[in-house]
Amino acid sequence: MTLTPLFDDVFRAQLAKLFAWRRDIRHFRPEPVPGELLQRLLDLACLAPSVGLSEPWRFVIVDSPARREAVRVNFECCNAAALAAQNTDHSAAYARLKLAGLNQAPCQFAVFADPDPSQGRGLGRATMPETAAYSAVMAVATLWLAARAHGLGLGWVSILDPAAITAALDTAPDWIFIGYFCLGYPQTDDDLPALQRAGWEFRRAPAATIVQR
């Protein structure tokens, strides 16, 4: 019989600190992420909850310089289009934001969701098939926190064309692109989101997100 672990006040305080210090990292130090540590993080990510225990997440580790360059070029194209779409008041501020660490991050990977995995036998997806993608996002969040606990930073690059990235990485065409991620040791640590430090946006009080009926 497995004994239930005790999560005491000390653990809960440390866990709250982990949540507070999880950041979206864009500036990385050059040292590589040890292969065994990356595998450990992926193992932990696979402990995430998934609809019907379907485990639909698919991690694509990107080591090929040519594939990384294709991702970088696509980001620059999409980012230029996003900048052009900003109104005059916001364009200068947008241009100053560093929105990717593609030139620095020693470890890069993409996350996809298999929209119809045989595992789980379809449980929970009949009326909400998007829960497969939601499950993959849960795996990302789990990995993100685990990475922070190991002193690593993770950056989510979302300014990309999903079809182009799917083609560049030669993945199954029906997989749903969740995001492209940069992983490494951050140059600096901060408990304040970078976009808040840049004055782009600010956190709201948690009460502002709660609706009671």
8 A C-beta contact, residue 84 and residue 76: no
User: What are the residue ranges spanned by the domains of the chain?
Assistant: 27-189
- Read off the pLDDT of residues 88-134 as tens digits, 9 standing for 90 and up: 788 888 888 888 899 999 999 999 999 999 999 999 999 999 999 99
Q: Residue 137: what pLDDT?
A: 98
Q: Residue 56: what pLDDT?
A: 98
Per-10-residue mean pLDDT, the chain, length 213:
88 96 93 97 98 97 97 95 88 87 96 96 94 98 98 96 97 97 94 85 91 93
Q: Residue 88: what pLDDT?
A: 79
Residue 2, CA distances (Å) to 5, 130 in order: 9, 34
Q: Residue 196: what pLDDT?
A: 85
Q: Residue 16: what pLDDT?
A: 97
CATH architecture, domain 27-189: 3-Layer(aba) Sandwich (3.40)
* pTM recorded for the entire structure: 0.93
